[in-house]
Amino acid sequence: MIRNDVPSGVLPDTLQNFLTDKLDEPLNYRTRMFFQQDGCPAHHAVTVRNWLNSEFKKHWIGRDGPILWPPRSPDLTILDIYLWGRLKQIVYREPLENDEEQLKTRIQNAVKSLSIEEIRNSFNEFRAGIEIYAEKGGALFE
């Protein structure tokens, strides 16, 4: 787990260690994918954008990136549409003590409990939402 208080200067190293090394096998996978940022201020740091330009060329989406992040649009990510809410539902099903280790364990167990079918269904719903977004020309929709 990566803590949420990672300074922006450390972020490129963190991404390198946790992300790109994993995506190099097979390398052609990374050349066909897009990396999507969110609106977190640390993600907008010059060091982060320079690293993304170096690693992903024109294949990243974010503020001041080659493909601009639509403002106020968290619902363009599968994480915001489905995963965070589902994990929260599982993690907090029972009361939680004020214990960081217990929280980490519950989150890890919640992720492991997701079935392939459940994840596949969430991607299908996401794809349908993107199609509606495109049909509406990028306008808001419910």
- List the domain boundaries for the chain: 11-61, 74-135
* Neighbour-count burial for 86-115, b at 16+ CB within 10 Å, e otherwise: bbeebbeeeeeeeeeeeeeebeeebeeeee
Confidence (pLDDT) at 56: 83
pLDDT classification of 74: cutoffs 50, 70, 90? low
Indicate whether this model's pTM tops 0.75: no
The answer for 136, left when phi > 0, alpha when psi is -120 to 50, beta otherwise, is alpha
Determine what percent of the chain is predicted with pLDDT higher than 90.
19
Q: How many residues does the chain have?
A: 142
Residue-wise pLDDT tens digits, 5-19: 555 555 667 677 666
Confidence (pLDDT) at 25: 61
More confident of the two residues 80 and 61? 61
More confident of the two residues 74 and 54? 54
Confidence (pLDDT) at 103: 93
Q: Cα–Cα distance between 26 and 122 in angstroms, integer? A: 25
